[in-house]
Structure 1
Amino acid sequence: MGASVGKGPRGYMAEINVTPFVDVMLVLLIIFMVTAPMLTQGMDVDLPKTRSVRTLPAGSDHLVLTVQKDGGIFLDEYSVPFEDLQNHLLNLVVAQKKQLYLRADKDVPYGVVVKIMGEIKAVGIEKLGVVAESSEQKTPGDNSAGQTGQATAKKP
């Protein structure tokens, strides 16, 4: 009668059935794999629009420096005071040899963006990608990169 351990009919099952656990883990894995590319950067900025763009690369080989309309600066999702920007850039970008992308709200004053770019240049970062939104209008049935809100990058 079944898989029983011990003496008599009141023994307990000795094997743990992991099939339901594996099924749940695989479903969760699929959900995360599908939703991860759809995630955008956490800070809310209104990006400038341009025609010549390509999609921001996926993966962890880059960092995004976000400048909000109110002057808030974020390195990925972490708030960084302007005074500490060079230290954070040295530790996270230069030391780890990661590509840096600048993502500034279109209403941020030009002088603020130039000031931040000066800090980036001061730590020795020579290549800087600029994040923008595609200005092309999406037509029905078109799955191109002109989707509203999709971050795109333009390298110098």
Structure 2
Amino acid sequence: MYVRKKRRMVAEINVVPYIDVMLVLLIIFMVTTPIITQGVKVELPKSKAEPIEQMKDGKTPIVATVDEAGLYYYQKDGVEKGPMNAEQLQAEVMDTLTIEPGTQVILKADGRVDYNAVIHLLNLMKQAGAPAVGLMTEDVESK
């Protein structure tokens, strides 16, 4: 007499399609990331200043930029907004400082920008509530 054996169900997940999808996503991110992380082209003034330390609580600083054309840009956590006018930049900084009080503000100005524009940007940041404002320069030995 023939006794039919019960087949056991296989409880394994086939992961090969998931690996294919992950490789495609990896390629997409590798191609699009350099396109997304483009910055504003400014020629920083050169200085022999010491690099600043990041804040102890891990907050990334706000970078306010003015380019040669007098346009303003805002950057925080790798996200850049702009070009914008002075009032829009001041509002962006105020909003960020309301959410994250005590965040460092760093000014990045093109070396060819009029000194008056840098002072105007400094005053805007102080009016926005920045506790301290730093100036970004390029190292003399980097070029």
* TM-score band w.r.t. shorter chain: 0.5 to 0.7
Matched residue, 2:94: 90
**Which ranges of structure 1 fall in alignment gaps of 5 or more residues?**
1-6, 8-13, 137-145, 149-156
- CA 1:66–1:60: 2 relative to 1, 3 Å: same
Q: Deviations over 1:38-79 (max 9, x none)?
A: x98600000000012316759752121111000010001211
Count residues with an aligned counterpart: 119
User: Residue 65 of structure 1 aligns to a residue in which SS?
Assistant: strand
Q: CA RMSD in A?
A: 3.5
- Report sequence identity in percent: 27
Point out 4+ residue stretches in structure 1 off by more than 4 angstroms: 55-60
Q: Give the alignment's TM-score, normalised by structure 1.
A: 0.61
What pairs up with 1:112-151 in 2 under 5 angstroms? 112-136=117-141, 146=142, 148=143
For 1:18-97, what aligned pairs fall within 5 Å after superposition?
A: 18=16, 20-21=19-20, 24=23, 28=26, 42-54=39-51, 57=54, 61-76=60-75, 77-79=80-82, 80-97=84-101
8 Å contact from structure 2 (residues 104, 131) kept in 1: no
Partner of 1:17: 15
C-alpha distance 53-15 of structure 1, shift in aligned 2 (>3 A): same
Q: Distance in 2 between matches of 1:20 and 1:55?
A: 42
Q: 2:104 aligns with which of 99, 107, 121?
A: 99
Q: Specify the code of the residue in structure 2 equivalent to 1:103.
A: K
Query: Contact 1:66–1:73 at 8 Å: present in 2 too?
Result: yes
Unaligned runs of 5+ in 2: 1-6
**Normalising by the residue count of structure 2, what TM-score does the alignment of the two structures yield?**
0.65
